[in-house]
Structure 1
Amino acid sequence: MRDYELLIFDWDGTLVDSIGRIVAAMHLAADACELPRCTDEQVRGIIGLGLPEAIRVLYPNLADAARADRLRRSYSENYLVLESEPSPLFYGVAEALQAFRAEGYRLAVATGKGRHGLDRVLADRGWLDYFDYSRCADETASKPDPLMLHEILAQSGVAAGRALMVGDSSFDLLMAQRADMDCVAVGYGAQPLQALRECQPTLAIECFTELRAWLGLRASEQSVEVRAHGR
């Protein structure tokens, strides 16, 4: 018996090793728009937000709407070039997702990407039908607002207590907590695990394979409890 039915994943920095390309694309966009480059750490700190929200955080004094739109378009164009060869999955992700599907979990993606961007990377992997549900920042509220999780739960019919959010940023964890959902922090993505622990996640891991082991242990413990209560 499993206590979770639905596993919800962030994309960049959680499933896919794309953080370096995101940082590079933002630096190139700043150059193109004659704006000062933010530090790598500053750019990593906004990963998870929708692109308009990320730009407002990085450049709070950018009042020129046309220039902000140019920055957004330049970032997207640069990222597409950098992603001409898709970013690799992190170690253990492909095998774990296949195992989760075989074990009966439903899978979802909740991402700061736009719909066009997510569909493109899913198509590149032949995964357009791989996840049962997905929500993107340009079709709902940006993280850490819990709306995209509420929408996934409504679509799936799964209660918040039976779903688990997995992400590499504080935005992911805060979003899950605001949706009354358990969450897992991964420490190999955008933000260091030490900082993510401050959000008090249900679990903190350094490698994706640890998630599979932890879920397997929980399922075993649940099965023991069920058998014990059945005596």
Structure 2
Amino acid sequence: MAKRFDLIVFDWDGTLLDSAGAIVEAIQAACRDLDVSEPPEARARHVIGLGLHDALRYAAPDLPEGRYPQMVERYRHHYLAGDHALKLFAGAAELVNELAQQDFLLAVATGKSRQGLDRALRASALAHRFVATRCADECHSKPHPQMLEELMDELAVSPERTLMVGDTTHDMQMAKNAGVAGLAVAYGAHPAETLDALAPLARVDSVAELTTWLRANA
């Protein structure tokens, strides 16, 4: 069967890496460190996928502007203390390897920093599978379309031949803003109903379902 897409762009946290819980805990711990009200889990989960500064401003809106650098430092302290223990979702590595072997171009668009993504890619042993990546400290934060636009430009792929796979409304809105199809995964940070509200091409509830959908439709 002919391919529908040439380029598949993955979000990282909550889509390939099972890290949403750790991000929420790090945000809440950073708030406690700075003696500001910690956000409930739903609010903290909502910011996953955004650039770190934008995420923390949303999660802790009452913090004085001049203290956000402290918040960033404390968040990184807590997240990095445990990130070595984070794992890819079961089946995610196998899916990435399968797609690469089928000659799809694979890329990453993430709210992580460049340093953070490079560290995560090394730990995952998947770095060689991705032909290009974009991070929040290199581009506008999601849902701005810059990450996808730059990836498509670099790899000479049209929007019609590009698929964005992500677990947040930020991913799906970025795809819309770039004129790209979005495939939502509901096993990460954002609940199914909020993803469905953005009318993605499809929504899957597990990596196994994601694998099946891509085999049949990509």
**Length-normalised TM-score, structure 2:** 0.96
Residue deviations 1:176-213, cap 9 Å, x none?
Answer: 01100001110110011121100000010001222332
Q: 1:146 maps to what in 2?
A: 145
Q: Are the aligned partners of 1:8 and 1:164 in contact in 2 as well (CA < 8 Å)?
A: yes
AA aligned to 2:158 is A
Q: CA deviation at 1:21?
A: 0.6
C-alpha separation in 1, matches of 2:44 and 2:138: 23
Residue deviations 1:62-117, cap 9 Å, x none?
Answer: 2331x1110011101110001132x1111221111111011110100000000000
Is 2:24 the counterpart of 1:23? Answer: yes
AA aligned to 1:45 is H
Is 2:210 the counterpart of 1:211? Answer: yes
Structure 2 segments unaligned to the other structure (5+ residues): none
Q: 1:135 maps to what in 2?
A: 134
SS in 2 for 1:100: helix
Q: 1:185 maps to what in 2?
A: 184
Q: Structure 1 runs of 4+ off > 3 angstroms?
A: none
Q: Percent identity of the aligned residues? A: 39
Q: 2:79 maps to what in 1?
A: 79
Task: Please say which structure displays the higher CA radius of gyration.
Answer: 1
Change in 2 beyond 3 A, CA 1:181/1:17: same
Is 2:118 the counterpart of 1:119? Answer: yes
AA aligned to 2:127 is L
C-alpha separation in 1, matches of 2:58 and 2:217: 39
Q: Are the aligned partners of 1:111 and 1:137 in contact in 2 as well (CA < 8 Å)?
A: yes
User: Following superposition of structure 1 onto structure 2, how do residues 1-231 of structure 1 map, counting pairs within 5 Å?
Assistant: 1-65=2-66, 67-85=67-85, 87-218=86-217
C-alpha separation in 1, matches of 2:96 and 2:127: 14
C-alpha separation in 2, matches of 1:209 and 1:102: 18
C-alpha separation in 2, matches of 1:70 and 1:91: 35
**Length-normalised TM-score, structure 1:** 0.91
C-alpha separation in 1, matches of 2:48 and 2:136: 12
Greater shift after overlay, 205-214 or 24-33? 205-214
SS in 2 for 1:175: helix
Between the two proteins, the alignment pairs up a number of residues equal to 217
